[in-house]
Every structure is written in C-alpha cells, then in structure tokens.
Structure 1
Amino acid sequence: MSSRSITRRLFLSSVATGMVGYPSFKQVKATELLSVVARSPFIASGVAVSHESEIFLGLPRFPGMEKTFSLARVNSRGEPIPFPGGSWNTWQKGQNSARAFVMVNAIHLFHDNTLWVMDQGAPIGSQPEPGAQKLVQLDVKTGRIIRVLSFPKAIMPSGARFNDLRIHGDLIFVTDSGLGGVIIHNLSTGKTLRRLSGQKVMRNDGVHLHRGIGGRILADGNGKRPDTASDDIEVDASGTWFYFAVPAGPLKRIGVADLLNTALTDDQLAQKVEIVAEIPSIGGTCMDTHGNFYLADAENSRITVLSPEGKRATLVQDNRLISPDALFIDRNRKLYIPCPQLQKLAFLNSGRNEAHAPFLVLSMPLPESLNGIPLGKGVEG
C-alpha cells in the first residue's frame, strides 16, 4: 500500500471516529495522575527535562510578562530560577538583543543532553533587530553557551518568525509561524535551506478556526483572530517524515527526503504534503518512538493520543490544563505539560486579560498502553 493510501486510511479513520464532535474517550481521574512540578510567576509555555531529571522552562515575554527572565531551571522547591544567569536573563527594551533572551518561544532537549532555546528576538508587535532571532544551545550542567545560530534574510525574510524546533541526526528543523515555512539547517555542513516558504499548506486555511475551551473562537477585543502559520512540528524516530500543523489543524506531513531535494520547487513540494488527521486546536505536541502523537488539546483541557493507525484516546483531562502547550517526554517516560493559560490573554480573549499566576507545569507517568494503543518503552523520538 502506498504512503498516500496509508495516510488517507488514517484520515478516514479520524472521520469515522467523529471528526466534527471528536471521539468519545475513556476518562481518567487526573487528580490521581497529575503532579505539579513547577509553579511560575511568569507564563511558562515550554518545558524540557535533562537526562539527570533537571527541569527547564521557557518563559516568553508576553504582554504583562515584561519582567520575565525568559529561561529558567526549576529548583527543588518547584520554583524557576534564571538560567544560565547574567545578561542572558535580564534583557530590557533598548538593550542589545543578540546576546540575551528576548522572546523565548520554544525550548527542547535532544539525545546529546544539551538544551536548545528558540528566541524570536522581539516581543509581540515588535520587529527583531539583526541577530536577535536566534537558536541558542546550552550546556545543561554549567549554562555555558555552546553555539548561537542566526540566519540571513534569504532564510528569515522580514515577517518570518521562529516557532518550534526538532533535531534528527545533524539536521535542525525549524518552523516559521510568521510567513509559513520550514528552515532546515545541517549542523555538520553549516548549510541551510528554507522550504515551502509562504505556501498555503503552511498557513491557516480560514476554515479551521483557532479555538479555546468550549469551542470559543479566539480573538482580540476588535474581533481579530490570530493568524499563526506553521507552528507545531515533529520528525518521526526514523527521520522519514516531517509533521506539522497550525494551531487549529489539520495535522500534515511531508517526506524529509522531499524537503531536502533541492530539485523540487516549493510549489512542487506543496503538492506532496499529505493530510494525516483532523485535530482539535492544540497548543503543542510531542511524539514517541512508537509513532504516537500526544496532542495538547486546548479546546477540551486534555491530552489526547493519536496512534499511527488512527486510534484516539484521552490520556488525561483536567481543568488545570488551560491552553496546554509544548509537551515533553523524559527518559523515565514521564510526560510534562506546561499550562500557560494563553487563551486567557487579552489578544486571544476579547481584550480581557484573565491569565494569572501561578502558571503550572504538570507531570504524569505514561502507562504501558492506552485503550489498545501501545505506549510502553516509547520515549520521545
């Protein structure tokens, strides 16, 4: 069976289980599963956990969060403290933004146990200065800056915004949520590609609307809805498929080999993008080595699992899961869930800011299986 046929079967399975109203899931008592691992005075939208179980948080500079120190390590009391310290954590408007964290939109930790930080380089509504939009790699033990990557206008033109990243082998994959697109940087050769730039498949289609709890359409006080392009991103454990979505879905994919084939134009690449499944509005994802997707469902305050065969099940549902965001599975198969309450911020909540501290990061052990979906030994891919 062709890969396109497999994808179509997965998509139709999603339809059959209730694409409009979403499937009926077995409910789990969240209070028995979820533990609070961090309480932050600032919005925490990203989490990463080292091989030694140290927890790191991304603290973006959203309106009202101007005093954030942007990147934190969680101490033994569950409190975030600045990491790595010094000028990297103390940026203020007017200061040099090339060597400080300004608008941390994502953090992640991969097989080599170093921390990667995605900095958009400017608060919402501002344009980043040259060099401000960057990827920063840090030593998790010492906080030493290992490398800083920024790209020229050919790769990051005006209006482009870093969003999320994944690493597979020597390749860094980065989504652009401003114009839409994917940046692929080879750590060994130093070569960088920008692919699917501005293509419709990378942008919201106007049909899938970004929603919050109860299906509320997110908008500011003037009714303006967010226009976020390619956002969530995963690469499967084999490095075969690149998955992506805008917050409102659907989930799509394209072959990594196609993305790397410079003989294909962006228009030709767009024709190779496949729809994998319809999904609710999400804040973030992660993917385990079994190929299961974990979806941070912002409409229903839950984490759902989508298997490669199209099965869906609720992992956990809890009222504390307000705008659950970038998920992370550590080496002990614990799932970490930041709850930044983004849908309560004024620009997504009809002009009213109802978000309030503490901003929680929750954690739970993953079961061996879930409603027939095997999860055992499936760490993050």
Structure 2
Amino acid sequence: MLGPHVLFGLVLAFLVQADITKDHDPRLKTAVILDTPTTGASTTPEGRTFLKLARIDGTTGSQIVEVIGNNYTLVPYPNDAWNSWNGSTDSQADSEVKYVSANAQRIGPDGRLWVIDSGSLAKFPNSSKLISFNVTTNEVDRVYYLGNITTTEGSIDDVRFNGKHAYLTEYTVGSIIVLDLETGYARRVLREHKSTVALMPLSAEGQFMRDSATGLLKYIHADQLEVSPDGKHFYYQPGIGYMWRIETKYLNEALHNDTTADLLPNYVEPFSLTPSTGGTAIDAEGNVYYSDGDRQEIRYIAPNGTTNLLVCDSRLLWVDAMWIDTQQRLWMCASQLNHGDLFMQPNNESNTIKRPIYVYTIEIGHSPSPLDHA
C-alpha cells in the first residue's frame, strides 16, 4: 500500500506534467526543424518543400531554400547565385537577378514557385519584383519588375492568383497591386484606403510592437490576402487585422479602367473582425484560416463570415504565412518574428528567439483551393 507521501508525490508529478502539456495540442506534428526562423512554407504535390528564411536573428545567408531529406538539409533555391545578394557591392543589374529582400514564396496554381522580392527601391529602382521558377528545370520562367508600381515608399508583401490576374499587397503605405500575368501590366489601387491601412500598431503576445531602429510603434498596412475558390472574392487586411473583401471583377476591371479604379472604395465591404495576424490560408471550401499573434491560436472563417477555433497551442508563436497541402494538412511556421531583431526586445537585447525553430502541421480535413496552388 502506498503511503501518503508517495501518493502526494504522484499527484504532484501528475499536476506538474499536466501543467507542462495542457497547452500543447497533440494534433500538432513536426514537419521541419531548423535553426533559422522561417516565415513561410510551401509544398508541391510530389512532396518537395520550400521555405522563406527570415533573417531576423542576426544570421545571414540564403533567403529561399528547399528542404532536402529527413535531416532537414536546406539547399539554396534555385541556386547560390540568386541567394548571393550583397547590398554593399552589388549593382543595379545584380538586383534584377538576385533576391534583394525576399518577402514570401509559394507554389502557384500553375505548379511554379513564385517568389516576392520587396527589393530596396531607394537605391535599386528595379529590385522590386515577382519571380516565377519552373520547379522541374529549376530555372527562371519569368520576372515581373514592379519598381515603377511600388515606388521608393512602397514594399510588396505577398501574392495570390486568379486566372491571368495576380493580386499583391503593399504593406508600407497600404495598397493593392493588380497584375496581368500575360502582359505584365500592373496597377496600384486602394492606396491608403481604410481597408488597406492599419488602424492600430502590430501586436504579439499582448503587447504592441516597436521598431528596433526607431523605437516607434510598428504599423503594418495591407498584408494578408486570399482569393475565394470560385475566384469571386478577394479577401485582405492590414497586419493588425480587420478583414475586408471586394469582388475580383472590380479589381480586374480597374486594371485598365480609370473610372472603376476611382470607384473601388464603393465596392469594398467588411468581412471579419480578425485580430493581429501573422498569416492566412484558404481551403477548397472557402474557409480562411488565420493565426492570432496575441493568443497563439489558429482560427478559420467560413464563407458566411462565422469564425471557429481550430487549435490553441503556446508553441504557435507568430505563425506567419500558412499553407494547405494535398494531404489536407495545414502547415504553420512558428517564426517567433516578434522576438527577432526587427522589434525592440526587453533589456535592449537584439533578439530573444529560442532555437530550434519548428514548422508544424495539423490535419484539417480539407484540400487546398485549386485556384490557390497546385
């Protein structure tokens, strides 16, 4: 028979173990483990995995990589040359054929890998670009230079597709860019509209974020974006949340019609009262998934606007751009972005990122939108 002290010890051990695991959802599975924060994963139907590495921890090196093997070897994609940018020595010509400041990557509905490079427009006017790679040959398919659209005050953030059109968010001023993928013609719309401008500073773990360089509160304008599976609606929001939508027919028409472009604010409507958000994804049923940076939650919004909780887990710290693969799994990169050197840290530390960095998956029972990616 166990004595009272032994029983107390067992109960205490149980309580401690329960406290350790109570906020760790067993549905989360580890997909990738690495030393450098990543703000976005994407996969091909054949199982290749690509990452955008966010150099927010003082490290340098490749920005776009492919994950090879079970030991998570990171290989520069498509090669070392594209990942060899040096802002001190490289020229304008170099900025057109290298990642200057890659901000996102994703497999598109055409099966190509698309990379968004926000560039460094103050010094390199043609460095802002959207690049597509043929993942079979690992060669450049096409480059869309967007420096004349974003100008020195704007920075492109991410991209989504809808037939021959692509939509990009621009986060430093707040606007949407509509691009004709066939002709390469692009136009910036909804500049500084209430739907593209952040009303409040970015927040994470319950605190407003401050720029490490200036000490000022950090505002991230037009950021997350998705297109409904039927191609009818474009969803978008600033980093702090408040999701809006507009019918894509108006965006497409505004590309070549000044009058429609001027009238776009009349067609914008509120969609969901989302919180400060790291990233989003959309499935084939039109559910929009978003990460809550303050609560370490992933929620999803049904097409009718109702919101449900998918998972809450303390490990999901600043999940950035998410991804749904063909195995009906949601990929979540726990980037710890708010702990990086972009933002002020406690005690004037340069960053408080804890390694290793994890990319998690969770089964959601839904396939990716075929309009979103292959």
TM-score range, shorter chain: 0.7 to 0.9
Alignment of 1:321 with 2:313, yes or no, is no
Alignment of 1:72 with 2:65, yes or no, is yes
Q: Deviations over 1:57-113 (max 9, x none)?
A: 011343613x12001111112232211112112222222222111221111112221
Name 2:330's counterpart in structure 1. Answer: 335
Alignment of 1:363 with 2:327, yes or no, is no
Q: Deviations over 1:115-135 (max 9, x none)?
A: 00001124xxx8351221111
* Residue 265 of structure 1: how far off its partner (Å): 5.4
Please point out which of 190, 194, 210 is paired with 1:196. 190
Larger Rg: 2
Q: C-alpha distance in 1, partners of 2:273/2:292?
A: 12
Q: C-alpha distance in 2, partners of 1:111/1:362?
A: 23
Q: Which moved more, 1:92-101 or 1:129-138?
A: 92-101
Q: C-alpha distance in 2, partners of 1:318/1:128?
A: 42
**Structure 1 unaligned residues grouped into runs of 5+:** 1-27, 368-375
Q: C-alpha distance in 1, partners of 2:185/2:341?
A: 40
Number of equivalenced pairs: 339
Please point out which of 44, 48, 52 is paired with 1:50. 44
For residues 198-217 of structure 1, the aligned pairs below 5 Å read 198-205=192-199, 208-213=200-205, 215-217=206-208
Does the 8 Å CA contact 2:201/2:219 hold for their aligned counterparts?
Answer: no
For residues 170-181 of structure 1, the aligned pairs below 5 Å read 170-181=164-175
Alignment of 1:83 with 2:77, yes or no, is yes
3-state SS, counterpart of residue 222 of structure 2: coil
Kindly provide the amino acid, as one letter, of the partner of residue 281 in structure 1: S
Please point out which of 132, 135, 145 is paired with 2:127. 132
Kindly provide the amino acid, as one letter, of the partner of residue 109 in structure 2: H
* Residue 29 of structure 1: how far off its partner (Å): 7.4
Does the 8 Å CA contact 1:174/1:183 hold for their aligned counterparts?
Answer: yes
For residues 146-165 of structure 1, the aligned pairs below 5 Å read 146-153=141-148, 155-165=149-159
Q: C-alpha distance in 1, partners of 2:319/2:175?
A: 24
Alignment of 1:272 with 2:267, yes or no, is yes
Name 1:287's counterpart in structure 2. Answer: 282
Q: C-alpha distance in 1, partners of 2:242/2:131?
A: 30
Q: C-alpha distance in 2, partners of 1:247/1:152?
A: 23
TM superposition score normalised by structure 1: 0.83
Q: Deviations over 1:141-161 (max 9, x none)?
A: 3321111110252x2222110
For residues 6-45 of structure 1, the aligned pairs below 5 Å read 30-45=24-39
Q: C-alpha distance in 2, partners of 1:104/1:327?
A: 17
TM superposition score normalised by structure 2: 0.84
Name 1:242's counterpart in structure 2. Answer: 234
Q: C-alpha distance in 2, partners of 1:181/1:315?
A: 30
* Residue 31 of structure 1: how far off its partner (Å): 4.2
Name 2:4's counterpart in structure 1. Answer: none
What percent of counterpart residues are identical?
Answer: 27
* Residue 332 of structure 1: how far off its partner (Å): 1.7
Name 1:226's counterpart in structure 2. Answer: 218
3-state SS, counterpart of residue 361 of structure 1: strand
Q: C-alpha distance in 2, partners of 1:230/1:333?
A: 28
Does the 8 Å CA contact 1:82/1:89 hold for their aligned counterparts?
Answer: yes
Root mean square deviation of aligned Cα: 2.2
Name 1:12's counterpart in structure 2. Answer: none
Does the 8 Å CA contact 1:199/1:267 hold for their aligned counterparts?
Answer: no
Does the 8 Å CA contact 1:59/1:72 hold for their aligned counterparts?
Answer: yes
Does the 8 Å CA contact 1:91/1:101 hold for their aligned counterparts?
Answer: yes
Taking structure 1 as reference, are residues 40 and 127 closer, same or farther at Cα in structure 2, changes over 3 Å only? farther
Does the 8 Å CA contact 1:196/1:269 hold for their aligned counterparts?
Answer: yes
**Structure 2 unaligned residues grouped into runs of 5+:** 1-21
Does the 8 Å CA contact 2:23/2:314 hold for their aligned counterparts?
Answer: no
